[in-house]
Homo-oligomer: A and B are copies of this chain.
Amino acid sequence: MSRGKLFVISAPSGAGKTSLCNKLLAKYPERLRYSISFTTREPRVGEVDGEDYFFISERKFKEMIDNEEFLEWAVVHGNYYGTSKQVIEKHLNDGYDVILDIDPQGARQIKNKFLDAVFIFIVAPSIKELKNRLINRRTESMEKINLRLKNALEEIKFFKMYDYLIINRFLNVAFEELDAIYRAEHLKTKDIDDIEKIVDLEV
């Protein structure tokens, strides 16, 4: 079995990343896995340990940092979040592709360590549209929304770090594009070592 591919996906809140990733996972359940992060924050209502996150104590998290078990980690609002090397490597070595949903700072850390990862950035067609989507969610204050828009503007500046940019104007079109990237990336000749393993050259 050949090793899987790592797909690193970033997007500002409201760009539609979660919907797009879930659609891709639903289309390829037998070959694609979602990378579950470790965190020290408390589970929210409905969140399941080992599905949404691995919820661990700060002591355990710091132990993992000391043991260099993280591919990347960060502190956000006082909580730790990290991606386990071992979890990703296990999936890849088992032949699964992995989706890693992460912000540009995390993506940058991955980029230096996984030379063959595929980096995808997803954006809304405009900041105004992003604002409308966040407002329509009705889950956050305008203050929080404005902070998210400010972050989005910062994050978009890093788009060149990514291999691909998807503009999520219509979810179905954006999904076709994500799917196209996913399929095309599996057709690259650079990942083929021995052509005779995939094309029977016997006459």
Which residues of A does B touch, CB under 8 Å? Answer: 121, 123-129, 131, 149, 153, 156-157, 159-160, 162-167, 176-177, 179-185, 187-190, 192, 195, 198-203
Q: A162-B189, A163-B189, A181-B187 are in contact. Are A200 and B125 (CB under 8 A)?
A: yes
Query: With a CB–CB cut-off of 8 A, which chain B residues contact A192?
Result: 159-160, 165
In whole Å, how far is A203's beta carbon from the nearest beta carbon of chain B?
A: 5
Cβ of B199 and Cβ of A187 under 8 Å apart? no
Cβ of A156 and Cβ of B187 under 8 Å apart? no
Cβ of A156 and Cβ of B199 under 8 Å apart? yes
Kindly report which residue of chain B lies nearest to residue A184, judged by CB atoms. Answer: B184
Bound form: Cα–Cα A192–B123 in Å: 14
Query: With a CB–CB cut-off of 8 A, which chain B residues contact A201?
Result: 126-127, 153, 156
